[in-house]
A and B are shown apart, each in its own frame.
Chain A
């Protein structure tokens, strides 16, 4: 049954009609870590959409908490159709601001060790997150036009958190997957140990 108001279709076939303004940011999938080795968003699996449906995808990190102390939070992409391996060539930048609770460190700088130049390793999103009970990280990653087969695939992120050294760190990451193949999946993990707790939400931007 549809619902038509004043000549305009509001509802039909079990969904809000595409002509009705519903907001341009759509929650696609929420993954919640529970001693998880990694969290993956794979197009076509578990209701995840990561294709030409949206030109921009946004991933939100909410209180990601590691099992191990002083580890990197990092991610990689896949261009496989199945049996995904996460090994896309990337070139990236990374800079951050840091300030510790003891006020002995207050700095802004490029982090050469956390960028990548044409390598396939995981891209670091946060350096040295602590595993104290109240320690975690948050942030946002934007991935643009992942299904494009003409251009490289750009991403940019800002990630903040509580370091193992009792400091706040505000990190800016950007770069591109240097491939014209479509990116079909993203994988998030810690550099060592599990993601003990936390949530990653994936959105599509119309």
Chain B
């Protein structure tokens, strides 16, 4: 049964009509860490959508807190459809700003250790995140058109962290998965230890 108001279809076939003005950003899934080794979003699993439904997917990191106290990086990788191992080929950039709480150092610089040139490692998304009780990182990652089988898969990210050496550091990372295969699985983890707590939310942008 449909619902028509003033000549305009509002509901039909169990959904809001596509012609209706509504929000363009849809929350797909929130994962909450609890001493988690990894957090993984896989299309078709646990209500996750990561396919051609949206042209842009946005991941928001909220207060991810590491179990390790050695200042691990938040990192991520992907699997193409049907693949495993989280080892897609990446070319990326990495630069940061930082400021120590004691004002002893503040800078903007390119980080050669945070980028990749046709590498298959996990890509850094943040600098060294502190593991003390009040330390964490937040930020976002946009992944564009992961279902395309024509183009490489671009991503851009920005993350702010309370560093283990008592300062703020902001990481700017971008690049592409150098594959024309569709990407349908994204995994996040800290480079060492667990994700002790925090959330990662996945949104689709219409």
Contact = CB atoms under 8 A, between A and B. Distances in A.
A62 B204 CA distance: 14
Given A101-B178, A170-B93, A63 B148 contact: yes
A139 interface: yes
Interface in B144-175: 144-145, 148, 150-152, 154-156, 172, 174-175
B22 A160 contact: no
Given A16-B22, A25-B25, A201-B55, A99 B93 contact: yes
A136 interface: yes
Contacts of A181: none
Contacts of B92: 99, 168
Contacts of B7: 14
User: Secondary structure of the B side of the interface?
Assistant: strand
Interface string A115-149: 00000000000000000011111111000000000
A99 B91 contact: yes
Q: Is the interface of A mostly helix, strand, loop or mixed?
A: strand
B170 to A, nearest CB: 13
B1 to A, nearest CB: 13
A200 B26 CA distance: 19
A199 B206 CA distance: 12
Interface of B: 3-8, 10, 20-26, 55-56, 91-95, 108-110, 112, 115-118, 142, 144-145, 148, 150-152, 154-156, 172, 174-176, 178, 180, 205-206
- What are the nearest 3 A-B pairs in CB distance? A23-B23, A14-B8, A103-B117
